[in-house]
Amino acid sequence: MKTISVAIFAAVLTFAIALPTFGTLQSAGVTGRLLCQGKPYFNAKVKLYDIDTLDVDDLMAEGRSDKNGEFRLVGNETEFTTIDPKLNIYHNCELT
Ligand SMILES: [Ca+2]
């Protein structure tokens, strides 16, 4: 009985690891310019994710805004269903 339990566990693990290799490779990109109180916002961290409902969102790309406040991200993800991109912007710009 103990041998059978180990075999089942190994099969489930293999399926979970093999799963991301199926599906369709999809891409998403975003470009933008960040301003803080009308001035270019330099060095803000930006991250492009694919929102997942059953597990942690997938990070597809990350970067920082340049001296003009501009950024550009392009990333890929393999999914069975259509990817659901989201952009996170990390900044310290305070609106007054
Ligand atoms: Ca995903």
For the chain, where are the E strands, in sequence order? 24-33, 35-36, 39-40, 45-50, 58-64, 70-79, 85-90
> Ligand 1 centre and the CA of 49: distance in Å?
8
Structural domain spans, the chain: 24-90
Report the length, in residues, of the chain: 96
**pLDDT over 50 at 3, yes or no:** no
Backbone conformation region of residue 4, classed left if phi is above 0, alpha if psi is from -120 to 50, else beta: alpha
69 or 5: which leads in pLDDT: 69
Question: What's the pLDDT tens digit per position in 11-44?
Answer: 444 444 455 567 889 999 999 999 999 999 999 9
CA–CA gap between residue 5 and residue 62 (Å, rounded) = 41
* Percent of all residues in the chain with a pLDDT value above 70, rounded to a whole number: 76
CA–CA gap between residue 50 and residue 88 (Å, rounded) = 11
> Ligand 1 centre and the CA of 45: distance in Å?
21
CA–CA gap between residue 54 and residue 95 (Å, rounded) = 35
> Ligand 1 centre and the CA of 38: distance in Å?
35
Q: Does domain 24-90 have CATH number 2.60.40.3330?
A: yes
Environment of ion ligand 1 (residues, CB < 5 A): 50, 52, 58
Write down the pTM of the prediction.
0.74
